[in-house]
Structure 1
Amino acid sequence: MTLLLQISDPHFGTEQPRVVAALSRLIETMPPDLVIVSGDITQRARKRQFAAARAFFDTLGATPALVVPGNHDIPLFNVFARCFQPYANHQRAFGAELEPSFESRDVMVLGVNTTRPYRHKDGEVSMQQVKRVSARLESATARQLRIVVTHQPVAVTRAQDEDNLLHGRERAVPRWARAGADLIVGGHIHLPYVLPLHDTFANLPRRLWAVQAGTALSSRTRGSIGNSVNVIRYCVDASDAAGRRVVVERWDYADTGDRFEQRAKHDLALDGATQAAAVTSAG
C-alpha cells in the first residue's frame, strides 16, 4: 500500500503551534510515502514565513514532499518582487522547480503551477501545461495511481466559490481524463470535499475525482470548518477484478484531544467501475 498525505494552505505566518505539533504527531504515527503540498505555504510570501515552512518540512526527514506554490506564495505588497521575482522566496526555500513530480512503481504525482503574478488570487492553467501533464499521464503504467496537483479547484460544491475556480479547467480536465488521470487534488478555498468530476464535466471517458483539502495549520479557518488534512491510501490487488483501490480520508484537528482525528472516508471507484463513491463518516 502507498500512503500519501495532502497538506494544503498551511499559511505559515498564521500557523497555530498546537496544530503544527498535532500534525507532526500524526505524521510520526502514520508515516507517508509522499507529502503533497497544494499551495499557499505562506501567508505573505515573506522570507521568514518560508523559513518557518522549510523548518517544518525538514522535520519529515527522508520523507519526500512535492510542493507547488499558491497565490499567497507570491508577494502582494512588494510590487517589484511580484513583477520581476515573484517566486524568489519560494524557490529559495523549496528549490527552483515550480512544477515538481514524483513517481514510484505505484503512483505518478504531477505538480502544476497555477499561480499567475498578474492575477490577484485567481489561478490559470495554460494549454502548454495541459499538454505537458497529458504527455506525462499517458506514459503512466496500468498499475499507477495518477494524480495532478493544482492550487485552485477545478470544481466546487457551493455557488459562492465559483469565482475561485481554476481558469482553463474546461480544457484541462477533459484532456487529463483522456490521458488517464485519476485524481486532481487542490486547496485554495479552505474547504475539504471529494467530487466526481465525471458527473460535473460532460462526456469524460473515465472516472476522475476532485480531492480538495482544507487549511492544515492556519488560524484562517472557514466558518465551522477547522484545520484538516487528507490521507490518500492506494493499493493494487492483482487478485481483485477491480485491481486498483484508492481511499481518501479526511483528518480534522480536534481541540478537545489536541490531535488530528479521522472524520470522513471516501472509497473511490476507478477506471470505469459502476459503483459510486461510498462515503462514510467516522467519529
Structure 2
Amino acid sequence: MAQNKLLFHLSDIHFGLEDKSALAWVEREIAERRPDAVAITGDLTMRARPPEFAAAEKWIHALSVPVTVEPGNHDLPGYHLPSRYLDPLGRFEAFREVVEKRIELPGLALVPLNTNVPAQPRLNWSKGWVSDRALSDCLRQIDALPEGTMALVTVHHPLRETGTQGTALTRNGEKALAALAQRPVLAVLSGHVHDAFDIMEKTEHGPVRMIGAGTLSQRIRSTPPSFNELTWDGATLHVTVRNLENIDTPDMMIDDVPEDAMPPREAGEPVAPVGRVPRTDPPVH
C-alpha cells in the first residue's frame, strides 16, 4: 500500500494585508505536522510591492518543507507597465526557486500551470488566462512523470469560464480542463476567490476535480481565513478545510465558483462573513 501523503494547500496570503494570527497558526501547523509539501496557489502579495515580497520571502524560507508557489494576479506589477511586460515575475527573484516548481513525491506530483498573462484584451486584467505556451508546458511535465504517478495541477485562477465572454473568469479554462481530463490528474488546486470549494467540472473528455483554497488574509469573502489539508492514500484524495473557528469542512465550502470573485478591496471596508454558503450536496472525494 502506498504511503499516505500529507499536503497543505494555501492561497491568497496577500502580504501587506495578511492575517497575522492565521499566518502564525499555519506556520506552527507546518512545523508540527511536517507536510510532504506546501502548495501556495497565488496572490502572495497585495500590491506586488518590494516590502510585501520581502515579507513573503522571509516567511517561505522559514518553512523547512518543500514549497511550490504559483503567481497570482496581485503578484504582477500593476502600475509599472515596463516591469509587467518585460519581467512580470521579477519581484520573485529572492525565492524564484520555488515559483512554478514541480514537486515529485512517490506516486504523486505537484505540477504548475500559470494562469497569468502580462496583458489581455479586456479591461479586467485580474482574471485568468491560460496561454497555449503555459498549457503545453504543464502537459509536457505531466506526460514526463513516472508511470503510475498522479498529478495535482496548481493554478491561481479556477479553470472556469462563466458568464459572458467579457466576464469569463479564466480564458481557455475549458480547453485546459479538457486536456487535463485526458491525463492522470487527481485535481486542479486553485485560489483567487477567497473561499474553499471542491467540485467536479464536466468536460468533453470526462470530469476534472477542482479544489479551491480560501484566504489567509484580511480580505475575506464569506468564510474566515483557512487553508486546505489534503491527504492522499494512493486511492482517495481527502480535503479538510482547516480554520481557527472550528467550522466543519462542508460549511466552509461554497457550492460553485462565483462569477464575481472579488472580496472587499481594502482593510477599511466591511470584511465580516456575510453568511457562509453551505453545500447542498456532499463534497466529492
User: TM-score, normalization: structure 2?
Assistant: 0.79
Letter paired with 2:194: H
Counterpart of 1:125 in structure 2 is 130
Determine the C-alpha separation between the residues in 2 that align with 1:78 and 1:133.
29
User: C-alpha displacement at 1:84, in angstroms?
Assistant: 2.6
2:18 is paired with a residue of what secondary structure? coil
Counterpart of 1:165 in structure 2 is 169
Counterpart of 2:56 in structure 1 is 53
Query: How many residues were matched structurally?
Result: 247
Letter paired with 1:65: V
Determine the C-alpha separation between the residues in 1 that align with 2:40 and 2:99.
12
Instruction: Tell whether the 8 Å contact from 1:39 to 1:67 is kept in structure 2 after alignment.
Output: yes
Determine the C-alpha separation between the residues in 2 that align with 1:18 and 1:45.
22
Within the alignment, does 1:185 sit opposite 2:189 as a pair? Answer: yes
Which whole-Å deviations, capped at 9, do the CAs of 1:21-66 have from their partners, x for residues lacking one? 11122223322110001000000111110111111112212x0100
Structure 2 counterpart of 1:69, from 53, 71, 84: 71
Instruction: Tell whether the 8 Å contact from 1:264 to 1:279 is kept in structure 2 after alignment.
Output: no
Instruction: Tell whether the 8 Å contact from 1:182 to 1:209 is kept in structure 2 after alignment.
Output: yes
Task: Return closer, same or farther for 1:50/1:164 CA change in 2, 3 Å cut-off.
Answer: farther
Counterpart of 1:245 in structure 2 is 236
Determine the C-alpha separation between the residues in 2 that align with 1:125 and 1:4.
25
Within the alignment, does 1:220 sit opposite 2:210 as a pair? Answer: no
Instruction: Tell whether the 8 Å contact from 2:113 to 2:135 is kept in structure 1 after alignment.
Output: no
2:134 is paired with a residue of what secondary structure? helix
Determine the C-alpha separation between the residues in 2 that align with 1:154 and 1:140.
22
Counterpart of 1:148 in structure 2 is 153
What are the ranges of 5 or more consecutive residues in structure 2 without an aligned counterpart? Answer: 251-280
1:128 is paired with a residue of what secondary structure? helix
Structure 2 counterpart of 1:196, from 197, 200, 204: 200
Counterpart of 1:110 in structure 2 is 111
Within the alignment, does 1:264 sit opposite 2:249 as a pair? Answer: yes
Task: Return closer, same or farther for 1:178/1:35 CA change in 2, 3 Å cut-off.
Answer: same
Determine the C-alpha separation between the residues in 1 that align with 2:86 and 2:208.
37
Greater strand fraction, Structure 1 or Structure 2: 1
What are the ranges of 5 or more consecutive residues in structure 1 without an aligned counterpart? Answer: 237-243, 255-260, 266-276
Structure 2 counterpart of 1:5, from 5, 8, 25: 8
Determine the C-alpha separation between the residues in 2 that align with 1:86 and 1:108.
26
Instruction: Tell whether the 8 Å contact from 1:133 to 1:176 is kept in structure 2 after alignment.
Output: no
Runs of 4+ that moved beyond 6 A:
none
Structure 2 counterpart of 1:229, from 219, 227, 230: 227
Letter paired with 1:210: M
Counterpart of 2:258 in structure 1 is none
User: C-alpha displacement at 1:165, in angstroms?
Assistant: 2.2
Determine the C-alpha separation between the residues in 1 that align with 2:127 and 2:8.
25
User: TM-score, normalization: structure 1?
Assistant: 0.79
Determine the C-alpha separation between the residues in 2 that align with 1:112 and 1:253.
30
Instruction: Tell whether the 8 Å contact from 2:68 to 2:98 is kept in structure 1 after alignment.
Output: no
